[in-house]
Amino acid sequence: MSKRPWGYQPRSERPDPNWTLDPQTQAVRAGLARSGFGETSEALYLTSGFTYSNAEEAEEAFIDETDHFVYGRFGNPTVAMFEQRLAALEGAEFCVATGSGMSAMFASVACLVKAGDRVVASASMFSSCHVVLTEILPKWGVTVELVKGNDPSAWAKALSTPTKAVFLETPSNPMLDIVDIKMVSDLAHKVGATVIVDNVMASPVYQKPLQLGADVVMYSATKHIDGQGRVLAGAVLGSFAYMQEHFLPFFRHTGPTISAFNAWILLKSLETMQMRVEKMNASAQEIAEFLETRKEVKSVRYPGLKSHPDYALTQKQTGGAGGTNICIELNGNKKDAFAFVNRLVLIDISNNHGDSKTLITHPASTTHKRLSPEVQAEMGITPSVLRLSVGLEASVDLIKDLTQAFKS
């Protein structure tokens, strides 16, 4: 558990420490720190600052900040409740919430590196992460090498020289490539690298990178953690040592802080996350199987399908859960892909994902437009690729909508 005892009250220490709570119970209970009013729901503390009864107490508070909040940029009671709850779910020693997934990603890597250092990353990833690694960090003298995520020999080669950090995304957005977290972590640790996993696509429900050997996990909480299209947020989780030595000194002074209001929304979201993600996964599996039967579809990439090249690894790494996104390559060109999307009546056109509403996007012209055609091609993003994020509607209605869009 996180070593931030702020606001902890005797009641929250029950049940006894030897009682291992089920994740669903932790999603409702972990981190709960009630005020003196005994409110049922977590309190929302909208305050930027904190007061002290005397100057000595203020001085004391600045020494280690363990029993007194000092400033909203560093911490807030509502934010701390969210951090402790997510840490409990992830099995991490420490969690820091951030204002967005990208601020989490950037800070998690940037806090480790200096000019001359080397970073190795999987080539297939969310486009903003790609920009951070291939454009921003190199500007500051950091060398970044990208490797094909599902090629063990490429990882072995890249991780045969000293490396400061490894960044990987699995499944990748949008092509759903799978990286073997354990294999990469073992190789990375031999050359002293810290392994950071973007666990957004799998969600905290189905993939536990820290248990597989990774050192740090980052989330865009905008996706499944909120999962209801309301707030932008992120989180970084890892060991107490990584946080104290690297992450917190960077975070505190660069300010990617989450708002207390958004953290409060996320606290409530976590209570239902497992149920939402399980339902969305089950529907996605059903829809992926349906799509594979359609002649209009050239290929379906979904880690829960036997046709996925890393189906076996998925069984091992996520217990077989394929996730809530499906990557569809249609027969035809960009015009055909656009026409199909435009015929959908229920499914919304939107580039977000992990949402309760089912959303579809054309990555080549939206989320991954920022990348060059060559990089897009390398990732497998062709003009007829669509990414479908399956939501909470009844799958029967989603299949009906897809069917009518095919038929028209």
Which chain residues interact with ligand PLP by CB under 6 A?
Answer: 100-102, 105, 126, 128-129, 169, 173, 198, 200-201, 220, 222-223, 232, 234
Looking at the Cβ atoms of 7 and 323, the one nearer to ligand PLP is 323
Residue closer to ligand PLP (CB basis): 198 or 310: 198
What minimum distance in Å lies between the beta carbon of 101 and ligand PLP? Answer: 2
Smaller CB distance to ligand PLP: residue 7 or 304? Answer: 304
* Cα within 13 Å of Cα(185), Cβ side: 16
Residues 6+ apart with CB under 8 A from 118: 142, 143, 144, 145, 161, 162, 163, 164
Residue pair 214/97 in contact (Cβ under 8 Å)? The answer is no
Answer whether 267's CB lies under 8 Å from 259's CB.
Answer: no
DSSP string for residues in 264-295: HHHHHHHHHHHHHHHHHHHHHHHHHHHHHT-T
Nearer to ligand PLP, 2 or 222 (CB): 222
Report the residue number, 3 or 230, with the smaller CB distance to ligand PLP.
230
Q: What is the dihedral of CA 226, 227, 229, 234, to 10 degrees?
A: 40
Cβ of residue 310: shortest distance to ligand PLP, in angstroms?
17
Which one-letter amino acid corresponds to residue 201? M
Cα–Cα distance for residue pair 201/189, rounded to 1 Å: 24
Of 222 and 269, nearer to ligand PLP (C-beta) is 222
Closest approach of Cβ 115 to ligand PLP, in Å?
25
Could you give the angle at which helices 260-292 and 395-407 cross, rounded to 10 degrees?
A: 60
Closest separation in Å from C-beta 363 to ligand PLP: 11
For ligand PLP, which residue has the nearest CB? 101
Tokens of 20: 């291992």
Report the C-alpha gap between 159 and 222 in whole angstroms: 32
Q: How far is the CB of 94 from ligand PLP (least distance, A)?
A: 20
Instruction: Name residue 139's amino acid.
Output: K
Q: How far is the CB of 354 from ligand PLP (least distance, A)?
A: 8
Q: How far is the CB of 233 from ligand PLP (least distance, A)?
A: 7
Per-residue CA distances from 323 to 20, 208, 223, 317, 353 (Å) = 26, 14, 12, 12, 11
Residue among 31 and 354 whose Cβ is closer to ligand PLP = 354
What one-character DSSP code corresponds to residue 13? G
Residue 32 or 237 with smaller CB distance to ligand PLP: 237
